[in-house]
Amino acid sequence: MDLDAIEVVTISEVSTLDDLIKLLKTGTEYQPHSHRVMFSFYASKGQFMGILCNTKELNTVNGKTAFAEDCIEVPVYEFTSGDILRLDNGLSFYRNAFAGLPSKLYQLKSPFEIVKNIVFSSISWTAYKTRELTRAEYRTFKDFLGGIPVDDITCKIETACHCSNSAAKELLNEFLNVVWKYVDGDSLEDEIILSAISASTELQERTKALIRTDWEAENKSLLAEAQKKLDSLDAHLKSATASLTEAREAFNQTKSEEERLAGIIAEKEKLADDVEAAVAERIQKARENAADFIATMAFVGGQPIQVTATEAPAAVEVSSKPDFAPYHTFSAFEDLNDLEAHHSWADVINTAAFELGEAGVAEKYRSSLAAFLCAAYIEKQPILLVGPNAIDIVQAFSAAVTGHKYGMLCCEGSYSNQVIAEIGADGEDIVIINNLLASGWMNRLPEILSQKDIFYVATHPYAEDVQVEPKSLYGFMLPLFTEFFVDKKATGKYCGGYFAEDFKTYSAPKGTRKDLRALSKLKIGSLVRNRINRLVATMHGIYSAETADEDFLYAVLPIAYASLEMNELTEVITDPQKGIAISEGLKRDLEYVLGEF
């Protein structure tokens, strides 16, 4: 087991323990250099006081370090300047490998706050959405809260608060009482007013009259406008009813005419078949007669007979058109009440993660895969999605992001510029490409991907086929294999979402960059490497929970497999100094793909 030294960081702008805790809750500009960090301050002459944290209890984003959300308490230590080892490079470390027993534990959260967090982390988002609840149905929401697994939550509270089981149950009951009071909206003043009004019929009528009068006065213009809209809607309804009646009459006439024409066409087709058979019979007889004539004249004396073959009847060219269009679009849901409103990329990732579950993606990969697809959508980075449920995953993602609106290009037959010109014409910005690798359209990939505001996803069912494709393909689209993430059959039941008017678009901070050292060990071009690093940087920008394991799964493993660099990848995994360190759990999972290493 590797043992990291304890890095000592002295913060000069604080002088008390409470100030130090407050600073780390909001975040301080510092990038830890070890997995264990002692944040401290100068307490008195030669005396220091600090708190010891590991990297799991901290979040570092863009060089700013703060407590993690799930950090509940931290140990407090008192030490002297003699316990600090200062290096020439400006870093300081604790002289001993272990800090020993702390002088006390500092509670970052109150027991009540801990209970609240545990309760709400136990509310299953999947269970909530599958009930098809709306935010207005608060009664159903109360029943949902009542179904929380209390026994499991009580055990979590008992562990987190270091209390007995009975004390944990009391804390939970106290929290639930607050929840019920908040949901019901009751208060002492409400009860007094309600009792007074209920006791007097006259007071009830006066109250209703006052409220009605005030409301009508305050909303006079709204009422007038609503009445005007109602009158307009009545007029439109009458006009639409008349138009519908005319349309039905025209439809009935068209249907009758269609039936009449269908009968005529059937007669003409039968006549054409009879004529074709008769003509064929006449041609055959003419050929036989001509053969007999030539054979007879061959034995007749005199000048040789010059026989010139008559021109055969021209073949009738038949144009066979496919019974499906190479490109077609799927419309978005019109009723926004059936869709989830997105106000930030965090909302998009939550919805997409839920929909990916319906597409058959394993639960532990849903959020990270959703973040990867969102990052590719932002960057408009084309993706080659290979393996089972590939089309289902793209359909689930398009449902979450664009309310089920997307285009589908089927690469059948000969390449057509006219078909490519149809892409994006209906406002769709997600396009699925099918049968790309097995068609003649592959050489026209630059033209297919010419529109830069479209998120293209090519799908293919078999991972082995990708390894025989030219490596230069990945300069156009990055590979991703679904076999590692899918664990069940897709249901196809996607709810969907849309971008609200106040949606906050993503803008990468200036100077944001993410370089995966493991990519430098693979024999891939700089264009492919830069595209992957940019995609990973965007993924980290919208999804702060991204881990090194997920960087490996989405950015390193697919390109290594597709470009036949698995031996080099195995060396990178076995020696973390060469590029990337992954968890032991992921290493065990990878043994099914790479074998033992």
The mean pLDDT value for 442-449 works out to 90
pLDDT at 360: 95
Q: pLDDT (tens digit, 9 = 90+) per residue, 223-261?
A: 888 999 999 999 989 999 999 998 998 999 888 888 888
Neighbours of 575 (CB within 10 A): 12
Kindly tell me if the per-residue pLDDT of 400 is higher than 90. yes
Residue 371 or 281, more confident: 371
Percent of the chain clearing pLDDT 70 (strictly above): 83
Q: pTM for the complete prediction? A: 0.48
Contacts of 329 (CB under 8 A, 6+ apart): 405, 406, 407, 408, 426, 428
Q: Do 373 and 351 contact (CB within 8 A), yes or no?
A: no
Residue 507 or 2, more confident: 507
Q: pLDDT (tens digit, 9 = 90+) per residue, 64-77?
A: 999 998 898 999 99
Kindly tell me if the per-residue pLDDT of 183 is higher than 80. no
Percent of the chain clearing pLDDT 90 (strictly above): 40
Q: How sure is the predictor about 120, in pLDDT bands with cuts at 50, 70 and 90?
A: low
pLDDT at 518: 80
The mean pLDDT value for 84-103 works out to 91
Neighbours of 288 (CB within 10 A): 10
Residue 136 or 152, more confident: 152
Kindly tell me if the per-residue pLDDT of 348 is higher than 90. yes
- Residue 245 CA: distances (Å) to CA of 254, 259, 574: 14, 21, 75
Least confident of 132-136, 304-308, 398-402: 304-308
Q: How sure is the predictor about 509, in pLDDT bands with cuts at 50, 70 and 90?
A: confident
Task: List the 406-410 sheet strands across, edge first.
Answer: 327-330, 406-410, 430-434, 455-460, 383-386, 478-481
pLDDT at 286: 63
Kindly tell me if the per-residue pLDDT of 308 is higher than 70. no
The DSSP result for 57-113, as a single string, is: GEEEETTEEEE-TT--EEEEEEEEGGGEEE-TTS-EEESSS---S-SEEEESS-HHH
Neighbours of 15 (CB within 10 A): 13
Query: Minimal CA–CA distance to 559: which of 589, 527, 586, 532?
Result: 532
pLDDT at 321: 40
The mean pLDDT value for 66-93 works out to 92
Backbone angles phi, psi at 29, to 5 degrees: -75, 90
As a whole number, the mean pLDDT across the chain is 82
The DSSP result for 348-405, as a single string, is: HHHHHHHHHHHTTB-HHHHHHHHHHHHHHHHHT--EEEESTTHHHHHHHHHHHHHTT-
Q: How sure is the predictor about 528, in pLDDT bands with cuts at 50, 70 and 90?
A: very high
- Residue 94 CA: distances (Å) to CA of 76, 156, 571: 14, 34, 34
Q: pLDDT (tens digit, 9 = 90+) per residue, 142-156?
A: 555 555 555 567 788
Q: How sure is the predictor about 111, in pLDDT bands with cuts at 50, 70 and 90?
A: confident
Q: How sure is the predictor about 313, in pLDDT bands with cuts at 50, 70 and 90?
A: very low
The β-bridge relationship of strands 73-80 and 104-107 is antiparallel
Least confident of 37-51, 217-231, 250-264, 305-319: 305-319
Kindly tell me if the per-residue pLDDT of 33 is higher than 60. yes
